[in-house]
Amino acid sequence: MRLLHTSDWHLGRSLYDRRRYDEFEAFLNWLLSIIIEENVDTLLVAGDIFDTPSPANRAQQLYYRFLSQINKTQCEHVVITAGNHDSPSFLDAPGELLKALDVHVVGSASPGNPFNEIKVLLNSPSMRGPVPEGDSLLHEIECGNIIASDVKAVVCAVPYLRDRDIRTMEPGETIDDKNRKMALGLRNHYKEVIQAAETILAALYKTDLDSTQKKIPLIAMGHLFTEKGQTVRGDGVRDLYVGGLVGVDESVFPEVIDYLALGHLHMPQTVGDAAHMRYSGSPIPMGFGESKQQKSVIIVDFENENPKPQVRLLPVPCFQELIQIQGDLIEIQQKIHELKREKSRAWLEIEYTGNEIVPNLRQDIIDEVSDSLMEVRRIQNRMVIERVMTASSSGQSLDDLDEIDVFNRLLDASDFDNDSKDDLIEAFNEVLKNLSEEDNHEDT
C-alpha cells in the first residue's frame, strides 16, 4: 500500500485579517493531483482540519469538495482525526454519510471502548460494503466475514486527547499532579488502543490460513506535542498540553506501530530518532515565522517482503510568498524596490529597527508598495515596541502582544512574588488550553 500523511490544514485561517482561501484551495487542488500522480491509495489527515471549532462556510465548502473529488480517484481510503483546533462533534456529525465515500472520521476519543478508534481498511472497499466498527468488528472477523487477505491496514485513529478523555480531576491536586496524570493517561490510552488493534490482527491471522504470506501494517495517528518538538514563534501551535507539560517522549507509543502519523507541530520532523514516527507539518506557512520552511507531505510505502515502511517527504509548492523585512527606513525602501523589480506578489511583514523617529512610518511604507502587486500585512516599529514593553502607563498596542505577553506584563506590574507568579502562569496556561478545547457544537 502507499499512503500519504498530512495534517494541520487550518482551513479558514487568516493572516492579520487577510483571508487565505485561495491558498487553501490551491493546496487542496495540488494534493488531489499528487494523490493521482503518486497512485496513493490511503490518505491520513492527522488533525487541525479547520482553524476554529466553528469554521466558516467557505472553509467547509473546500473540505467537502475535496472529499467528494478524492472519491473519484484511485485513493480507496481517507482517515481523518480531530486536532485541538477542531470541534469533535462537528467533524463527527457527517460521519455516517462520509462512510459512503470511504472517508473515516474520528473526532472524539472513546475512553473505555478503544475499538471505536480502530479503522480496518479493506482492499477494494466498494466491493465489500461498509466495514463494521466498534464491538461488532471483532465479531465479524471471528466469524470469518473479514479475513487477513481482505485487509490493507489497521489504523489506530487516535484524535487529539482532551483532559476529560484521559484523566480525572480531583480537588486539591497540584499542577505537577495534573501533568503526571495527563502523561500517564495519554500513555495508557495509546496502550489500550494498540492492544485492541493487536487483538484484531491476531483474529485476522487466525481465521486466514494464507495470512502467513501477508504482513498487515499497524498504523497509528495522533495530534499532540512530543518532547523536544520544534516550533517557531507565531506558528499558532499551542505548545503546552496541559499546564507546564511540554510534551511526551517516543516511549509513549508502543513499539509494534509500523508508522505513526502525527499532527500539531507545523515543522516537518521525526519524533526523536524514530524515522517511522513523524510530523508532516502544516502544508502552508501559518505565519511569517514559518515563511522560510520547506513545507511537505509524507509518502509512505509498505511492501509485504519489507517489514519497515519506506518514507519520503514530498515538498509542497509555495502558493503565497511571505517575506519579512527588517531595517531602517532606507533599508526597507531598498528591499521593497528590489521586490518591485522582480514583480513580486509577496505579503510583507515589516519591522522598523532604525533609531530615528519616523512620524509617518506606516503611511510611508504603504505608499512604497501602492504601485505594486505586494501587500503589507503587518508593520512593527521596534523602537515603539521597546518603549511600550518598558512603560508602566497605558497606551500599549495589543497588536504587538499575544495573550501570554499581556499576562506577563500584568504580572510584572504587580507585587506578586516569583513563586506566586509561577503558579498564576501555570493556571493561566490551563485556562487558555481549556478555552481552545471548548466544543461549541457539542450538545449540553
> What pLDDT digit, counting tens, does each position of 220-230 carry?
999 998 877 77
Show contacts of 243-250: CB within 8 Å, 24+ apart. Answer: 243/175, 243/178, 243/179, 243/182, 243/426, 243/429, 243/430, 244/175, 244/179, 244/426, 244/429, 245/179, 245/182, 245/183, 248/183, 248/186, 248/187, 248/224, 250/226, 250/274, 250/277
* Distance in angstroms (rounded) separating the CA atoms of residues 354 and 220: 51
Name the least confident of 62-71, 112-121, 309-318.
Answer: 112-121
For the chain, percent of residues with pLDDT exceeding 70: 84
Q: In this predicted structure, what is the pLDDT of residue 229?
A: 75
Q: In this predicted structure, what is the pLDDT of residue 117?
A: 93
Could you read off the pLDDT of 391-407 as tens digits, one per residue? 444 455 555 566 777 67
Q: Crossing angle of helices 403-412/418-437, nearest 10°?
A: 160
Model confidence at 383, pLDDT cuts 50, 70, 90, reads low
Model confidence at 426, pLDDT cuts 50, 70, 90, reads confident
Q: In this predicted structure, what is the pLDDT of residue 380?
A: 87
Model confidence at 307, pLDDT cuts 50, 70, 90, reads low
Q: Which of 298, 315, 332 is the last residue of a domain?
A: 315
Tell whether 253 and 157 lie within a shared domain: yes
Tell whether 268 and 400 lie within a shared domain: no
Model confidence at 385, pLDDT cuts 50, 70, 90, reads low
Tell whether 358 and 395 lie within a shared domain: yes
Task: Taking residues 97-113, report their average pLDDT.
Answer: 90
Q: Is the pLDDT of residue 125 over 80?
A: no
* Distance in angstroms (rounded) separating the CA atoms of residues 272 and 279: 11
Tell whether 398 and 333 lie within a shared domain: yes
**Is 443 contained in some domain?**
no
Tell whether 290 and 360 lie within a shared domain: no
Number of residues in the chain: 444
Q: In this predicted structure, what is the pLDDT of residue 183?
A: 81
**Is 289 contained in some domain?**
yes
Could you read off the pLDDT of 40-92 as tens digits, one per residue? 999 999 999 999 999 999 999 999 999 999 989 999 999 999 999 999 999 99
**Is 444 contained in some domain?**
no
Tell whether 78 and 185 lie within a shared domain: yes
Could you read off the pLDDT of 173-216 as tens digits, one per residue? 777 777 778 888 888 999 999 999 999 998 888 866 555 557 89
Q: Which three cell numbers stand for residue 163?
A: 483532559
Among 8, 28, 56, smallest CA distance to 224 is for: 8
Cα 1 to chain centroid, rounded: 24
Tell whether 238 and 371 lie within a shared domain: no
Which CATH number goes with the domain that contains 428?
Answer: 3.30.160.720
Q: Which of 315, 343, 361 is the last residue of a domain?
A: 315
**Is 383 contained in some domain?**
yes
**Is 442 contained in some domain?**
no
* Distance in angstroms (rounded) separating the CA atoms of residues 117 and 220: 10
Q: Is the pLDDT of residue 373 over 70?
A: yes
Domain count, the chain: 2
Q: In this predicted structure, what is the pLDDT of residue 130?
A: 63
Question: Around Cβ 345, how many Cβ atoms within 10 Å?
Answer: 12
* Distance in angstroms (rounded) separating the CA atoms of residues 66 and 6: 14
Tell whether 311 and 362 lie within a shared domain: no
**Is 39 contained in some domain?**
yes
Q: Is the pLDDT of residue 120 over 60?
A: yes
Could you read off the pLDDT of 127-163 as tens digits, one per residue? 555 677 777 888 888 888 888 888 899 999 999 998 8
The whole-chain average pLDDT of the chain stands at 85
Q: Is 373 within 8 Å of 347 (Cβ atoms)?
A: no
Which CATH number goes with the domain that contains 273?
Answer: 3.60.21.10
Tell whether 234 and 335 lie within a shared domain: no
Q: In this predicted structure, what is the pLDDT of residue 439?
A: 60
Q: In this predicted structure, what is the pLDDT of residue 278?
A: 95
Q: What count of Cα atoms within 13 Å lies in the side-chain half-sphere of residue 166? A: 27
Q: In this predicted structure, what is the pLDDT of residue 444?
A: 42
Tell whether 292 and 253 lie within a shared domain: yes
Q: In this predicted structure, what is the pLDDT of residue 73?
A: 93
Alpha carbon distances (Å) from 215 to 76, 152, 192, 371: 19, 9, 22, 61
Task: Taking residues 356-377, report their average pLDDT.
Answer: 90
Range with the largest mean pLDDT of 238-252, 303-317, 401-415: 303-317
Q: In this predicted structure, what is the pLDDT of residue 241?
A: 45
- Can you say whether the dihedral through the CA atoms of 351, 356, 359, 364 is positive or negative? negative
Tell whether 344 and 238 lie within a shared domain: no
Q: Which of 315, 341, 356 is the last residue of a domain?
A: 315
**Is 147 contained in some domain?**
yes
Task: Taking residues 26-34, report their average pLDDT.
Answer: 98
Q: In this predicted structure, what is the pLDDT of residue 441?
A: 61
Among 256, 258, 305, smallest CA distance to 277 is for: 258
Q: Is 347 within 8 Å of 320 (Cβ atoms)?
A: yes
Tell whether 328 and 307 lie within a shared domain: no
Q: Which three cell numbers stand for residue 191?
A: 496502550
**Is 352 contained in some domain?**
yes
The range of the structural domain enclosing residue 74 comes to 2-315
